[in-house]
């Protein structure tokens, strides 16, 4: 199986995000480990502001080296969320498909562990509602913990199977 990236993708990334083609391709082909995270806008600090920004996510950062997250009290306090930069592209999708200044009702149907939900929540206004649903009951506590640490009041967690439409 080839690790070759489609030329159209490379051209699009250069045009829209000004990536460095050689560095990007080399990183992909060499499978370099890249650590990225999102800063929690509800817990302002100067945390990681000197790190390289993820171009498509205002609060996303690339880390020069991987910190010991489990030993970091700021991680446990919800000051940031460790997430792949590619997953942060959801911010662009939402900004281009929804009026985030409106009071919205959003459903994250498969929400655990909480990466998408915390990202969505950071973009919504305080009068919007986010319902973070997780179908697998054993994953719900992790979702609740991550959303609780994120620190907002407009998010609710449920544990329902989407096929049960009458719930």
Domain ranges for the chain: 8-88, 98-158
- Map tokens 């030993």 to a residue: 71
Model-wide pTM > 0.85: no
Matching CATH number, 8-88, of 2.160.10.10, 3.20.20.70, 3.30.70.1170, 3.40.309.10? 3.30.70.1170
> Apex CA 139: angle with CA 136 and CA 140, to 5°?
95
pLDDT at 31: 63
C-alpha 77 chain-centroid distance: 17
If you search the block for the tokens 């609710």, which residue do you land on? 156
Q: Which residues pair with 82 in a beta bridge?
A: 37
Closest C-alpha to 41, from 62, 63, 59, 60: 59
Interatomic CA distance for residues 5 and 10, integer angstroms: 7
- Asked whether the beta carbons of 113 and 143 are under 8 A apart, the reply is yes
What is the CA 116 to chain-centroid distance, rounded?
A: 5
Q: Is the peptide bond before 57 cis (omega within 30 degrees of 0)?
A: no
Query: For the ranges 5-19, 59-73, 105-119, 141-155, which has the lowest average pLDDT?
Result: 5-19
pLDDT grade, residue 3 (50/70/90)?
low
Task: Evaluate whether the domain defined by 98-158 bears CATH number 2.30.30.30.
Answer: no
Residue 75, pLDDT above cutoff 60 = yes
**Closest Cα to residue 55, out of 19, 81, 27?**
19
Q: Are 156 and 122 in contact (CB under 8 A)?
A: no
Give the pLDDT of residue 32.
Answer: 62
């Amino acid at each position: 199986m080839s690790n070759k990236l489609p030329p159209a993708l490379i051209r699009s990334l250069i045009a829209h995000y000004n990536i460095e083609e050689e560095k990007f391709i080399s990183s992909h082909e060499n499978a370099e480990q890249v650590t990225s995270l999102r800063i929690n806008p509800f817990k302002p600090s100067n945390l990681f502001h000197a790190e390289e920004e993820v171009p498509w996510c205002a609060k996303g950062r690339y880390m020069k080296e991987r910190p010991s997250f489990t030993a970091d009290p700021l991680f446990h306090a919800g000051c940031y969320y460790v997430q792949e930069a590619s997953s942060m592209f959801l911010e662009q999708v939402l900004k281009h498909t929804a009026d985030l200044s409106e009071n919205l009702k959003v459903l994250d149907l498969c929400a655990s562990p909480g990466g998408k939900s915390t990202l969505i929540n950071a973009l919504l206004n305080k009068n919007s509602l986010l319902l973070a649903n997780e179908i697998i009951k054993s994953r719900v506590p992790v979702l609740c913990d991550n959303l609780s640490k994120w620190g907002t009041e407009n998010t609710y967690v449920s544990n329902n199977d989407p096929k049960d439409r009458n719930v």
